[in-house]
Chains A and B, each alone.
Chain A
Amino acid sequence: MFHLPTEFSNRDQLIAHVKTLAPWAEGAASPYIGGQQAATQRLQNIDPVAYGKTRNFGNGRVSLLSPYVHHGVFSLNHVRNFALSRLENPQDGVKFIQELGWRDFWQRVAAHIPHGLWEDLEPYKTGFDRDTYTDTLPADILQASTGVACIDHFITTLLDTGYVHNHARMYLASYIVHFRRVTWQAGARWFLCHLLDGDEASNNLSWQWIASTFSNKPYIFNLENVAKYFGGLVDTTPENNRPLDASYENLTKRLFPNLVGEDD
């Protein structure tokens, strides 16, 4: 039985070792470092109150704890307990604690799905059948060359770091499923390949929520929304983001033509 090494002179040596174990693995290492020490630093840095006020913004006080929680370095209970220790009134951290609840929710849903996490739980509510959606991610998405500046920025971040702001994940998923008519499964698989916190339950069920196969309606977004939450952080100029530059009403007509006339 072969025991693998656990001591390395530096990070580059560890990375080189993992490359020899998995020569098939795509890409480079993330700047985010695994392990208890890095996790503890992130935990010490949380601000549950600030999180509640800024979480939807690209530069908000998100905790970046998700990769460590996903791999069990900390449990949800541990993170919750620590957050409570930082709060005079537990309700002041309601959004932070509720976000932990979302992970618990996805795990509980997953535990009850007899047919697994890769099947559509409900029909699409887009006016399209599943067969309308392609199972293959287009090359321009894989290469961050869609020509939609903010989308390409978020894809590059995903590929380079393995971490993307949750709001940006929603944009990416919506763009892939609704603007490009790709199955959520193809997108979910791609996210799991790259996201350090890629969790089958949270990831797949979130993609289904966006797609409308586990929600009451499809999630879409427009350039105005991206500019509101990520303005100054990514290129949100109309000329570089043309497919997104429309009102919700016009986007709905364009993306879901079979639903026109069903609203109100």
Chain B
Amino acid sequence: MTDTVIWLHEKALGRTHPVMQDAHKATKIIHIWDDGYYRAQGYSLKRLVFIYETLCALKIDIIHGDSLAVFRALSPQKIIVPYTVASGITRLYHQLAGEFDCRLIKDVPFAQIAPEDKFRRFFKYWQKAKATAFLRDAGAGDVA
């Protein structure tokens, strides 16, 4: 059994994501090269090469296999996952969450806007976003 695994999926291939703050506690930081996932995405070779080059630069374990099977073999106590709206990753996440203790971690926001706010047009979004979009770290830590 493994303690904690940080799963860096293809939408979170960087070391600046807040999920990496847990890295000192994790025994593994991995990417799973899931043939079924990538084939379902329909990516061309150039997309796959770009992803693989990015993975190599990250210097993390790249495990070849079905995502669920890999995690079953690792048997982690907890899986930490960077948040994404991408449907393919979200589907995988929900499968994992059905069997493992999973935690989604969001990135530092671009703008301080309540998550429940809904927008149908950009100009409505920008009316709210512009208050913090021009501030470093969206003004986090500053007086709102």
Q: How far is the CB of A103 from chain B (nearest CB, A)?
A: 8
In the assembled complex, the CB of A138 is this many whole angstroms from the nearest CB of chain B, namely: 18
Contact of A22 among B39, B50, B134 (CB under 8 A): B39
Are the C-beta atoms of A72 and B12 separated by less than 8 Å? yes
| Interface-side segment among A107-115, A126-134, A222-230 | A107-115
A70 at the A/B interface (Cβ < 8 Å)?
yes
Bound CA–CA A22/B52 (angstroms): 12
Please determine whether A6 and B49 come into contact, CB atoms closer than 8 angstroms: no
Please report which residues of chain B, range 80-110, place their CB below 8 angstroms from some CB of chain A when the two chains form the complex: 82, 85-87, 107-110
Say yes or no: is B62 at the interface (Cβ < 8 Å to chain A).
Answer: yes
| A22 contacts B38, C-beta separation under 8 Å | yes
**Contact check: which of B14, B42, B120 meets A193 at CB < 8 Å?**
B42
Q: How far does the alpha carbon of A72 sit from the alpha carbon of B83 in the complex, in Å?
A: 11
Residues of chain A within 8 A of B115, CB atoms compared: 111
Q: Return the contact of A72 from the options B17, B129, B134 (Cβ within 8 A).
A: B17
> How many residue pairs between the two chains, A and B, have CB atoms under 8 Å in the bound complex?
203
A250 at the interface (CB under 8 A from B): no
User: Is B21 in contact with chain A by the CB < 8 A criterion?
Assistant: no
- With contacts A28-B46, A189-B42 taken as known, whether A71 is within 8 angstroms of B51 at the C-beta atoms is yes
CB distance from B38 to the nearest CB of A (A): 6
Tell me if B50 and A27 are in contact (CB < 8 A).
no
- The digit string for A1-33, where 1 denotes a CB below 8 A from any CB of B, is 111101110010011011101101111111011
Interface residues of B in 52-95 (CB under 8 A from A): 52-59, 61-65, 70, 73-74, 82, 85-87
Question: How near does chain B come to A249, taking the closest CB pair, in angstroms?
Answer: 26
Q: How far is the CA of A97 from the CA of B131 in the complex (A)?
A: 12
Report whether B45 and A25 are in contact in the complex, using a CB–CB cutoff of 8 Å. yes
Comparing A143-151, A170-178, A195-203, A239-247, the segment that makes contact with chain B is A195-203
- Other-chain residue from B45, B82, B107, B135 in contact with A18 (beta carbon distance below 8 A): B45
B contact set with A: CB distance below 8 Å: 8, 10-17, 33, 35, 38-39, 41-59, 61-65, 70, 73-74, 82, 85-87, 107-111, 113, 115, 117-120, 122, 125-126, 129-130, 133-138
Spell out A's residues near B (CB within 8 Å).
1-4, 6-8, 11, 14-15, 17-19, 21-22, 24-30, 32-37, 67-68, 70-78, 80-81, 84, 90-91, 94, 97-98, 100-105, 107-112, 116-117, 161-162, 189, 192-196, 198-201, 214
Show 6 A/B contacts (Cβ-Cβ < 8 Å), sorted by A: A14-B52, A74-B16, A80-B133, A97-B134, A111-B115, A196-B50
